Chains A and B, each alone.
Chain A
């Protein structure tokens, strides 16, 4: 058995309570329980985390690079969608 036979898993680590899980990397493991343990050994050795998610890479649906333009280009020329477009009135504090 080699790791080539094992499915790939994506690892998400939450570094502190209150923060969201962040993608840390990927690894091979025969099943979910071992993937969690491998993730613990590979990505939290230097006390980076308080919580780990592992997700089968095959289960992730990703946007295709070919669809980059229809997906993302239309947003490029619409700066008014950014909140910075608006002037903040003088009287507004604590913003």
Chain B
């Protein structure tokens, strides 16, 4: 399988050669799942040196490394992992907008993780049960992601049920990121899986945690003109460009550098 030419917003080109059967890997789907993991991993990595406590810093770094491992496997399925991670332009990334959202305060990071890990665990669970090209990865990663979800749930409960300030911040974060959650259930090109069918289970799990934490599940729009979306089509939010610049500048300044 050829890699995407560097810099070009060309993820759509190889998609044409992405049949679903057998061991052929659908490029669009591999980029979607791989970019989700890569981008969220980088965001979580930004906490290194800044986390509220040392123990939590290690926990977030562990989650970031799990996701980075998944991203490496997924991107390697369809090209050179370094080229895909470090030499694509913003518009060639296929991650959902949820994972590129800035860390914000700790509550924002936890809300983003709760929304995403719950989705990712359901998604990987379904992929693991099948025999598609992503099944081997999904079978291994679903256990990692179950822990990520548990970590986010534990913190959601404690922040929601903690002090007045932690409750307020957690509620603010849940509400702020809510509009990014509709995109999770949009169809993914070539995945061979009805992502919309994950929504019911996702909503049940998230609302159980949110209610248990004494918080309120937001009710705002999630999949209309006013909500976020189109990350899978390469449309990203403004902070993503800055994140990419930081993530890619070393590789671009010193191509092929190693240590």
B55 touches A27 (CB 8 A): yes
Of the candidates A1, A28, A33, A45, which one forms a contact with B55 in the assembled complex, judged by CB atoms under 8 Å apart?
A: A28
Residue B199 at the chain A interface, CB threshold 8 Å: no
Residue B158 at the chain A interface, CB threshold 8 Å: yes
B59 CB to closest chain A CB (Å) equals 5
B61 CB to closest chain A CB (Å) equals 9
Contact with B along A66-87 (1 / 0, CB 8 A): 0000000000000000000000
Known contacts A30-B158, A33-B154, A37-B154; decide if A3 and B53 are in contact (CB<8 Å).
Answer: yes
Interface residues of A (CB under 8 A from B): 1-3, 6, 27-31, 33-34, 37-38, 40-42, 45
CA distance A31 to B155 in the complex (A): 12
Enumerate chain B residues within 8 angstroms of A29, measured Cβ to Cβ.
55
Q: Count the A-B residue pairs with Cβ separation under 8 angstroms: how many?
A: 33
Enumerate chain A residues within 8 angstroms of B58, measured Cβ to Cβ.
38, 41-42
Q: What 16 additional pairs, Cβ within 8 angstroms, besides A28-B55, A30-B158?
A: A2-B52, A2-B53, A3-B54, A3-B55, A27-B55, A28-B54, A37-B150, A38-B55, A38-B58, A38-B59, A40-B147, A41-B55, A41-B58, A41-B59, A42-B55, A45-B62
Enumerate chain A residues within 8 angstroms of B150, measured Cβ to Cβ.
37
A32 CB to closest chain B CB (Å) equals 11
Enumerate chain A residues within 8 angstroms of B62, measured Cβ to Cβ.
41, 45
Residue of A nearest to B158 (CB): A30
